Amino acid sequence: MGGNPSSARTADVVVIGGGVIGCAIAFRLAQARLKVVVLDRGEPGGEASGAAAGMIAPQGEMVSFDTFFELCAASRDLYAGFVDEIEDLSGEAVGYRPDGILMVAADDQHSQELEEIYRCQTGRGLALERLTAESIHERVRGLSPDIRWGLFVPGDHWVDNERLTPALAKAAARVGVTFLTRTAATQLDVASSRVRGVRTRSDSAAAGPTISGDHFILAAGCWSPDLAQPLGISLPMQPCRGQMLEFEADAELPLVVRAGHHYLVPRAPQRIVAGTTAEYAGFEKQVTGEGLRSILEGVSRFAPLIRGLRFRRAWAGLRPDTLDHHPILGYGELENLILATGHFRNGILLAPVTAALVSELLLTGAASRPIDAYRPGRFRSQ
């Protein structure tokens, strides 16, 4: 899938960024028989997409019914078919689990949060099951005796994101996408309000090919402003570091368990991921003692089972966060450049719907869902 020839290449569409968003867009456009090239400074899924927890859980945080929740829920509903396509074409299982998610209340704050979620979502007719503490302990062993009650969300799911993006890239390659890995995009060449090409550099710092094309997609996550700002395109984004821990367990955790911003996510075989933090520390990806301590303390309050698990590894990823925590989708100042970036904590969740909307926008000139709230120019007055 790799490659970095010295000669120039041309394509119908050049996608800058090989995370789950960029790969999903490339996949859909190649299915429409366009010649697509994906550039990535590393390997597909090597940044935020591979560092996430993999939850596909819009109901887990929804306390108001707005257009962003509708977008997230629509993407969740696309996931089963999305995964089927990926697994069929790639021959790789991605660990998709539509088994529901458990949210628990172990203190007053968690209880208030769950009450608000329950009130809001049942009022809209969304599926939620209110559980007693006894019922929760029957479903999952090793949780805190302080748990008061909880909510089971049958519609929310999870996926092994470390397997998802490489499998998606493999599926995309099978339908004709060309991947130039370890090839950084360094500059967009522009003339007459159109991008004409992308200058590249290999990971050895050698100059790479200039990739020309008819259309360009900027899906480079936290690194998107590096290419946009020299063109006068303002993308007010910053990296938000999320630290994670992984443990080995003697028995599989049956489903995701979360309380507030802390959670446990099953990863087969018999592995459990614990998260997370939200830190604005620039592009620093190192894990820290304070970060790991906060995760252990936060998870231990509702799941003391974590204390007996065998530590396996720790890592951190950089989420691309915007001023309003919503993605940037659509055309900006340049007529053949679509931006699809800034998905913050929702890149895995939003991949199917983002790919659908961006491919519609490029192929037909209009998306099937309203995306004006996510337009690149919305920050100009801020």
Same domain, 143 and 248: yes
Tell me, rounded to whole angstroms, the distance of Cα 312 from its chain centroid: 23
Same domain, 243 and 317: yes
pLDDT at 208: 86
Residue 350 has pLDDT above 70, yes or no: yes
pLDDT at 54: 97
**Residue-number span of the structural domain to which 34 is assigned:** 9-51+163-235+324-379
Please state, in angstroms and rounded to a whole number, the distance separating the CA atoms of residues 44 and 24. 11
Using a 10 angstrom Cβ sphere, with 0-12 exposed, 13-18 middle and 19 or more buried, the burial of residue 6 is exposed
Same domain, 261 and 355: no
Tell me, rounded to whole angstroms, the distance of Cα 381 from its chain centroid: 27
Distance set, CA 182 to CA 44, 46, 56 (Å): 9, 10, 29
Per the CB < 8 A criterion, the answer to whether 320 and 344 are in contact is yes
Residue 11 has pLDDT above 80, yes or no: yes
- Among residues 298, 322, 346, the one where a domain terminates is 322
Per the CB < 8 A criterion, the answer to whether 359 and 28 are in contact is yes
In a domain, 92, yes or no: no
In a domain, 86, yes or no: no
Residue 355 has pLDDT above 70, yes or no: yes
Same domain, 254 and 356: no
- Among residues 283, 300, 322, the one where a domain terminates is 322
Residue 204 has pLDDT above 80, yes or no: no
pLDDT at 1: 53
Q: Please report how many Cα atoms fall inside a 13 Å half-sphere around the Cα of residue 306, on the Cβ side.
A: 26
Nearest CA to 222 out of 344, 121, 349, 81 is that of: 344
Same domain, 246 and 315: yes
Please state, in angstroms and rounded to a whole number, the distance separating the CA atoms of residues 126 and 229. 41
Tell me the residue ranges of DSSP E strands in the chain. 9-16, 36-39, 55-56, 101-105, 129-132, 149-153, 157-158, 178-180, 183-191, 194-202, 211-218, 237-248, 256-259, 262-267, 271-275, 310-322, 328-331, 337-341
pTM above 0.85, yes or no: yes
% of the chain surpassing 90 pLDDT: 91
pLDDT at 381: 59
Nearest CA to 165 out of 21, 28, 60, 304 is that of: 21
Residue 378 has pLDDT above 60, yes or no: yes
pLDDT at 61: 77
Segment 111-145, tens digit of pLDDT: 999 999 999 999 999 999 999 999 999 999 999 99
In the chain, the number of structural domains is 2
Residue 2 has pLDDT above 50, yes or no: no
Residue 285 has pLDDT above 80, yes or no: yes
Same domain, 242 and 123: yes
- Among residues 322, 346, 366, the one where a domain terminates is 322
Please state, in angstroms and rounded to a whole number, the distance separating the CA atoms of residues 355 and 340. 9
In a domain, 354, yes or no: yes
Least confident of 43-57, 138-152, 196-210, 232-246: 196-210
Residue type, 193: S
What's the pLDDT band for 206 if we cut at 50, 70, 90? confident
Average pLDDT estimate for 243-255: 95
Average pLDDT estimate for 308-336: 97
pLDDT at 4: 41
What's the pLDDT band for 382 if we cut at 50, 70, 90? low
Residue 251 has pLDDT above 50, yes or no: yes
Average pLDDT estimate for 156-160: 97
Mean pLDDT, the chain, rounded, equals 95
Same domain, 231 and 299: no
pLDDT at 142: 96
The token duo for 38 is: 């994906």
pLDDT at 263: 98
Average pLDDT estimate for 168-197: 97
Residue 3 has pLDDT above 50, yes or no: no
Segment 42-99, tens digit of pLDDT: 999 999 999 999 999 999 877 778 899 999 999 999 999 999 999 999 999 999 999 9
Same domain, 149 and 285: yes
Q: Which CATH number does the domain housing residue 225 bear?
A: 3.50.50.60
Residue type, 14: V
In a domain, 89, yes or no: no
Same domain, 261 and 305: yes
